[in-house]
Amino acid sequence: MNNTTNLSSLIWSSADDVLRGLFKPSEYGRVILPFVVMRRLDCVLEPKKDEVFELYTKYKDQLSDSTPVILRKVGYPFFNSSKFDLSRIKSDPNNVLINFNNYVQGYSKNVLDIIENFSINPLVEKLHKNKRLYLLIDKFTEFDLHPNKIDNHQMGSVYEELLRKFSEMSNEESGDHFTPRDVVKLLVSFVFGGDRKDLQGEGKIRSVFDPCCGTGGLLTIGKEWIHENINPNLKVDLYGQELNDVTYSICKSDLLMMDENPDNIHGPCSSISDDRLQGRKFDYMITNPPFGVSWKSEEEFVTEEAKDPNGRFFVGTPRTSDGSLLFLQHLIHKMNPEGSRIGIVFNGSPLFTGDAGSGESEIRKWVIENDWLECIVSLPDRMFFNTGITTYIWIVTNKKSPERKGKIQLIDGSSFSTSMKKNLGDKGKYITEEQTEQLFNIYQKFEENEFCKIYPNSFSGYTKVVVEQPLIENGKVKNDSQGNPKPDTSKRDSERVPLSESIERYYEREVKPHLSDSWLDRSKDKIGYEINFTKYFYKFTPLRSLEEISKDLKSLDDEISKLSMEIVDE
C-alpha cells in the first residue's frame, strides 16, 4: 500500500508541476490517467519497438491488414507501429504534437479504442498550445511502469489511488470507481471459497462477470484468488461492463497487458439500460454497485422492461433514488440454471427500505422465497474511501448446499478490522488476511455463535395486516348499507405479524385487548420482508448503577477542586 501510494503521489505531484494554472485540479485526472496507461504500454512494448516498426514497414503495402502477422511475430496481444513512443517524442521538441498524434494512431485497434475513450484530443491540444505537452511527456518518461517493476496488483492500486485523488478534487464518488482490495479479497473468498469443489479438477472453464467493473479489480483479483487458493490450472474467463469512460479504458488496458481478452469488457454504458451481454449466463458474478445513486435517467427504460414477465425487473423496482437492487435483479437474471454464485456489496438500504408491497420489499421477497439468499456479512464502518457508513456483502446463489437450503446465514463482521495508520479519504480501517480467514471460517462452519445467526427463510418475513375501527357519530357506531360498521379511516392502523405466527392469535393477544371494537380487514393483507441486522445482533449493555455514577462524579469534583487550589497557589 505504501509503495503504490508513494508512486501515485509522485505521479500526481509531477503532473501538477506542469498542469497547475492551465487546468483545474479537478481536471487533472482526465490528463494524468491516460498518460499513465500510455507510459505503461510503452514500458511493455519497448523491447520490441524497432522490430514492430520494421514489420509494419515491410508488410503495410503487401497486406490489407498486417495486424495478425505483427501480433504473431512479436508475441504480444497489442503493438504500436509508429516509430515513436513517449521517450522518442522528446528527441524532436519542435514537432511534439505531430509526432504524438502519429504515436497514438500507431496503436493496434484494440489499444486505439481504449485511448479514444479517454477523449484526450482537446486536452493534448490545450497542452501543446500552452507549450506544456513536451514537459508533461518528459515527466512521464521518468516512471518505469513495466509489469516486472509494478505488477498488475500494484498497478491497480496506483490507478485507484489516482482515481481517489481525482474524485476528491471533482467531488465525485470515488467508491463508484473501485473497491478497496481488502474488501475485494473478503468478497471473493466467500464467492469462490464457498464453491471450492466446483472449481477443482482439470479441463474446466468458468466465467466471472462484473456489471459495473470499474478498473477491473474485482475480476482480476477474483481470478488470482482462484488460482492461488483453489486451482492454478482452471481457465477463468472475465467479463465486465462499465459506465465511466475513464475507468472503462483503464480496465481494458489492464486486461490487455495481462493477456486477458479486453473485448469481454463492454462500455462505456450502463448495464441497466444498455445490457451489452444480453442473454449471457455466468457461473460467478461479483460487484460493488454505486451506493444510493439515482436511476431517474433510466426510469423510462426500466419501467418499460418491468412490464415484461421475462424481463429483469418484473417483480418490482426500487425507488428511483437508489438503484442498488436493480443490479441484483440484473445479476439474478444472468444466473446459469445449472448453478451460479453472486457476491454483491450493498449499504444498509436494501436490507430494510420499503414497506410490504413496495418494490424493495417485493424484490427481497422474490429473492428469499426462491431460496437464493445464502448469507449476508456486515462489514466494519469506514471501510471505503468515499463513505464511512456500514456496508454488507450479500451472497446469492441458486445452488445452495443441502444443509443451507431454506436458511439464511447472517454474520456480524463489524468488529473484524484493524485501524489504519493513516486514513485514505474516509477509509480508516482495513480487514487483514487473518481477519478475512476468521470470517470465512465462521461462514464455512455454519454454526451459530456470537458472530453468526442462522434463520429459516420465513424469519425475515411478515404479513402487514390492516386494523379497522368503527366510525362513531353522535356517540353511535355508523353502519354501511349492509349493516356492517363503517371503518373510520382516520383510526385505521396496521400491524406486522411474523410469518411464523398465526395472524388471528396475534390479533387476539396484541390488538383486541386494547382495541375491543376493532377488526381485521384481511383483504388488504400484504407480505413483506426485511432484515434487521442491528436487532438480530443487539447486545444489551446494563446501565450503570447510581452508586457508580455518584462515585465518578465525586471523583471528578475532587479533581476539579484540586486543580482550582493549584491555580490559586500559583
Distances (CA, A) of 41 to 4, 49, 57, 115, 332: 18, 11, 21, 11, 37
The domain locations on the chain are 2-167, 173-446, 460-534, 542-569
Backbone angles phi, psi at 340, to 5 degrees: -140, 160
pTM: 0.88
Backbone angles phi, psi at 264, to 5 degrees: -80, -5
Neighbours of 314 (CB within 10 A): 15
CATH topology of domain 2-167: Ferritin (1.20.1260)
Amino acid at 414: S
C-alpha cell at 514: 386494547
Query: What letters, b where the CB count within 10 A reaches 16 and e where it falls short, cover 355-388?
Result: ebebbbbbbbbbbbeebbbbbbbbbbbbbbbbbe
Q: What is the pLDDT along the chain (570 residues), one digit of tens a residue?
A: 457 778 988 999 999 999 999 998 888 888 999 999 999 999 999 999 999 999 999 998 888 889 999 999 999 899 999 999 999 999 999 999 999 999 999 999 999 989 998 999 999 999 999 999 999 999 999 999 998 899 888 888 888 888 877 777 665 544 455 688 899 999 999 999 999 999 999 999 999 999 999 989 999 999 999 999 999 999 999 999 999 998 899 899 989 888 899 999 999 999 999 999 999 999 999 999 988 889 999 999 999 999 999 999 999 999 999 999 999 999 999 999 999 999 999 999 999 999 999 999 999 999 999 999 999 999 999 988 878 889 999 999 999 999 999 999 999 999 999 999 988 778 899 999 999 999 999 999 999 999 999 999 999 999 999 999 988 877 777 787 777 888 887 788 999 999 999 999 999 999 999 999 899 999 999 999 999 988 899 876 677 778 888 888 888 888 888 777 766 665
Backbone angles phi, psi at 81, to 5 degrees: -85, -5
Question: Same CATH fold, 173-446 and 2-167?
Answer: no
Neighbours of 117 (CB within 10 A): 20
CATH of region 173-446, choose from 3.30.360.10, 3.40.50.10420, 3.40.50.150, 3.30.70.20: 3.40.50.150
Say how far apart CA 363 and CA 373 lie, in whole Å.
12
